[in-house]
Every structure is written in structure tokens, then in C-alpha cells.
């Protein structure tokens, strides 16, 4: 595992469409100082509102993950972009966008990875801070189950089970590294069933949705020209969503997450359980020693109090370049 923090060497900009609003969104990813984490900035508002990409900012997990500041300024569908940043090992960046929704692009993290490959990663003079799981933590809700076990590195296992001949039971495991993320997970697209897509449209959602940005399945099969990118693209996308949500922990994770029939809500449940059980993990900084990565314990996180989750990185986060947090 890499030991140093990384940002990017220069700004990269692109545009796309919001899945639910159907609106065109302009987005820029900029370098950020060490220990600042990932921060979103709403550039369309008079007072540039900054929202840290942090689990204590999650306000909605229906269909996609949405974060918000205290004044209900929101950014939704953070997961595919966050997965791209985590998957590529980018710890610190500022994401500016002029909408309340991250553009859906082709429904995967592939376009974000391609945009980020136009710039270089820049190593920073600080070790990565990592949550290292030391004891199992699990959450169960009916037939949905998610747990995390101690593991050296980050390993993700997802299992899905749909009553559809094309999908049925699929399982996928990955030992997360930039190379494997790009090759196996980044280009797996989100998916929906035709009858559900029609219901969403009737409720004013998925207005930007099309066969260009999601796999759509009906009783006969896949409606998209060109079919699937992987025969198990559905479960690979679940892995992508899981990684993108875990990125909101605010720092990399060392453990093996096993998720069965789970979605954004269960990912968030697991993250809250992790925050609530500091006896099951250590907060460590990775340092290089004799060419080998070693773990150095720096601080034990404080306990979460009641329903309020204490962010892992916030107390020591550096302010975001040029953006002053304010209410709008």
C-alpha cells in the first residue's frame, strides 16, 4: 500500500448531465493541501459553499448518496466520483461544481478516471492516515448484511441476488489497488429495471437518465446497444458504489468489507457502526521505514456521541485552498 498522501498536479475540468435533474453540470477537480481530504465547493452560489466529503455530511442514501452543509445546500450522487478518487489513490482535492448533482457521465467511474489521467498525481510530504480495522463489525437488516473484518489492505466483496435470469446471484471480490480498480471496477455502469425507471420518471427523477448513462434491463434482457461491458457488470458496479461510499470515511480503510444485497443505506450503516466502535479499529499514519510501509499509531478516535458522528479527519483538516466555509 502507498504510504504518502497524493493530490493532483493541476486542475482538470469537464462537463456532464445530472442524472435526476437532467441539467448540464460543469465540474473542476483542483489540487489541495496535504491533510485537507476531499472537499466539494458549490461554485454556482454567490458565497462559495464548501462541503467536506465526509460521512457526517450524509443526509440521504435513497438511490444515490447525498451530502449537505448545515444550511441544506446539497450535493448528490457523490459515489462514482469519490470511488474514482479513492481508487486512484488521490487523498486531497477540491471538487468545484455548479449544480447540486455530480454529473452521471456514462453511469460508471470510467470517465472520471480518464479525466484524472490527463493530469498527474503529486506526492505530498505526509503519510496517509488510515482507519485500520482490528475487530469485526457487522450490521444486518433482514437479508441485507454488511460486515468488515481485519485485513492488511482494502478488500471488498459484494454479493447480489436478483430474481432476473440475466443477473441472479453474482459475487465479486477485489483487493483494491489503482491498477485493479481501473481494470476491473471503474467502468462498470449503474443499472436499473425498465419498469422502475418509468416510475422514477413519473416522480420527476432520473430526468437525465438514458441508455447512455445506465444499463437498463427488461424481462427480455439488456436494452443497451452493445450489451454489457462485463458479464457480471451488475455486481462490479455494487463494488464501485461501496468504494465510493466508504471514501466518505475521510481517509483510506484497511479491512475486508463483505456486503450482501446491500446499497447506499447499508454502506452508511456500516460507516456509522465503525464510528461508534473505536475499540474495533485504530487510526494510524503510514510511514516509510527501510523501504517498507509500517503502521504508526497516532491517535485513537474519540467516541461518537449519540447520533452525532464525529468526523475522523475534521479536527486536523487543513482549510481548503481559497474557499472560505460560510452559510448561504
Binding site for Zn ion (CB under 5 A): 190, 241
- Whose cell is 467511474? That residue is 109
Q: How far is the CB of 79 from Zn ion (least distance, A)?
A: 5
d(CA 128, CA 292): 14
DSSP 116-180: HTTS-EEEEEEEPEEEEE-S-EEEEETTEEEEEE--SSEEEEEEEEESSTTTEEEEEEEE--HHH
Pick the closer one to Zn ion by CB: 56 or 241: 241
Q: How far is the CB of 184 from Zn ion (least distance, A)?
A: 15
The residues facing 28 across adjacent strands are 13, 96
Q: Name the active-site residue from 237, 256, 264, 267.
A: 264
Pick the closer one to Zn ion by CB: 66 or 190: 190
- 3 state DSSP class of 243: helix
Q: Is 151 a catalytic residue?
A: no
Q: How far is the CB of 328 from Zn ion (least distance, A)?
A: 28
For 139, list phi and psi in degrees, rounded to 5.
Answer: -135, 140
Q: How far is the CB of 145 from Zn ion (least distance, A)?
A: 20
309 secondary structure, DSSP code: P
- Whose cell is 504518502? That residue is 4
Q: What is the pairing mode between strands 74-76 and 191-193?
A: unpaired
d(CA 244, CA 265): 13
Pick the closer one to Zn ion by CB: 96 or 241: 241
Pick the closer one to Zn ion by CB: 48 or 261: 261
| Residues carrying an active site annotation | 264
Amino acid at each position: 500500500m502507498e504510504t504518502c498522501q497524493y493530490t493532483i498536479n493541476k486542475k482538470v475540468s469537464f462537463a456532464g448531465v445530472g442524472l435526476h435533474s437532467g441539467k448540464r453540470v460543469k465540474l473542476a477537480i483542483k489540487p489541495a493541501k496535504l491533510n485537507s481530504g476531499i472537499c466539494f465547493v458549490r461554485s454556482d452560489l454567490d458565497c462559495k459553499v464548501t462541503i467536506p466529503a465526509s460521512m457526517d455530511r450524509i443526509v440521504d442514501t435513497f438511490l444515490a448518496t447525498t451530502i449537505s452543509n448545515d444550511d441544506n445546500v446539497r450535493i448528490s450522487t457523490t459515489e462514482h466520483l469519490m470511488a474514482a478518487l479513492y481508487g486512484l489513490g488521490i487523498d486531497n482535492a477540491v471538487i468545484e461544481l455548479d449544480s447540486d448533482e455530480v454529473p452521471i457521465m456514462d453511469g460508471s467511474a470510467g470517465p472520471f478516471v480518464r479525466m484524472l489521467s490527463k493530469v498527474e498525481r503529486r506526492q505530498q510530504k505526509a503519510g496517509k492516515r488510515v482507519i485500520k480495522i482490528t475487530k469485526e463489525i457487522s450490521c444486518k437488516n433482514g437479508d441485507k448484511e454488511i460486515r468488515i473484518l481485519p485485513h492488511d489492505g482494502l478488500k471488498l466483496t459484494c454479493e447480489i441476488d436478483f430474481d432476473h435470469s440475466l443477473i441472479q446471484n453474482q459475487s465479486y471480490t477485489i483487493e483494491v489497488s489503482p491498477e485493479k480498480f481501473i481494470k476491473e471496477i471503474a467502468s462498470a455502469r449503474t443499472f436499473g429495471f425498465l419498469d422502475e425507471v418509468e416510475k422514477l420518471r413519473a416522480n420527476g427523477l432520473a430526468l437525465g437518465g438514458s441508455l447512455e448513462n445506465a444499463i437498463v434491463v427488461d424481462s427480455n434482457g439488456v436494452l443497451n446497444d452493445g450489451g454489457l461491458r462485463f458479464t457480471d457488470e451488475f455486481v462490479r458496479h455494487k463494488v464501485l458504489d461501496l468504494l465510493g461510499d466508504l471514501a466518505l470515511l475521510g481517509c483510506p480503510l484497511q479491512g475486508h468489507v463483505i456486503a450482501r444485497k446491500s446499497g447506499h443505506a447499508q454502506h452508511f450503516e456500516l460507516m456509522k457502526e465503525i464510528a461508534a466502535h473505536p475499540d474495533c479499529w485504530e487510526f494510524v499514519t503510514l510511514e516509510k521505514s527501510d523501504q517498507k510501509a509500517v503502521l504508526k499509531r497516532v491517535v485513537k478516535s474519540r467516541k461518537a456521541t449519540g447520533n452525532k458522528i464525529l468526523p475522523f479527519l475534521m479536527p486536523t483538516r487543513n482549510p481548503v485552498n481559497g474557499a472560505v466555509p460560510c452559510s448561504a
